[in-house]
Structure 1
């Protein structure tokens, strides 16, 4: 089952997704944690957040830090995976492509959506929901919000389950049984 987990900043979406993927995959099953965020280089507050995420995860999970989530999913479609998070992936993709200055990200989004659609093992994708996160009133901020909204919609279309986490509480938005 592919699950898209949406929520605002600090809503509990990562913790909910981690617990859910562990239950769905099996408590002792291998899980790949695909981390898309930047390294904590010199940012003590970010380092604490990253460490809190690492501490929460079972020791047998394998962490893969990558911008190329599609390739990571295609490389091992039979092992459960958790992607944390799509907003970090989009930021890195926009940086890589020069999309802040107008370059298109559609091809990268297509590749990600295809990889998610073809993924056979349990998968949880964590993403900030547009409007529930801070978006600056700048051209770049609006572009990010627009692109993230599109990515979330496209991923929701290929996921069997979509959950919105608010104050740590899951609200099912879509569930195909």
Structure 2
């Protein structure tokens, strides 16, 4: 089953997704965030995520999420998070200044659609706060909102995490 796990910052979405997919046994964890690179606060966040993972999980730190999904379609996988992937793709495609990520989004959605093992995709939910005050922030929110909608249509299950509590948005039919 493919599950899209949505939530705001610090909502508990990563922890919920980790606990949910842990039932699959050994898991491949695809981490999309940028390496800490001298940012102490970011380093602590990354370290906390790493410390929570069971010892038999394999971690791949990459922004090539479609490639990672295609390279191991039979491995239970958790991707954390789609916002990190989108940021990297927007950088790569020049989307902050008018470039398009539509081809990248199509590729990701196709890779998710073809994935056959248990899959959890963690993504920030947009629209739960103020409209971003910059053009780049609005562009990111718009792109992420469209991407989340496309992933939700592809996934059998969608869960919204609020204050650590799961709310079922879509269940398998």
- Whether the aligned pair in 2 keeps the contact of 1:8 and 1:133 (CA below 8 Å) is no
Cα RMSD for the two superposed structures: 1.1
The separation in 2 between residues aligned to 1:86 and 1:6, in whole angstroms, is: 10
Alpha-carbon distance between aligned partners in 1 of 2:150 and 2:103, rounded to the nearest angstrom: 13
- TM-superposed deviation, 1:134: 7.1
Q: How many residue pairs get matched?
A: 173
Q: Does 2:99 correspond to 1:82?
A: no
| Secondary structure at 1:171 match in 2 | strand
Match for residue 7 of structure 1?
7
Map residues 104-123 of structure 1 onto 2, 5 A cutoff: 104-123=100-119
In 2, Cα distance between the equivalents of 1:146 and 1:48?
29
Taking structure 1 as the reference length, what is the TM-score of the superposition?
A: 0.95
Give unpaired runs (5+ residues) of structure 1: none
Q: Mapping of 1:1-177 within 5 angstroms?
A: 1-23=1-23, 25=24, 29-132=25-128, 136-177=132-173
For 2:97 and 2:103, the matched residues in 1 are separated by 16
TM-score between both structures, scaled by the size of structure 2: 0.97
Gaps of 5+ in 2: none
Structure 1 distance, partners of 2:127, 2:40, is: 27
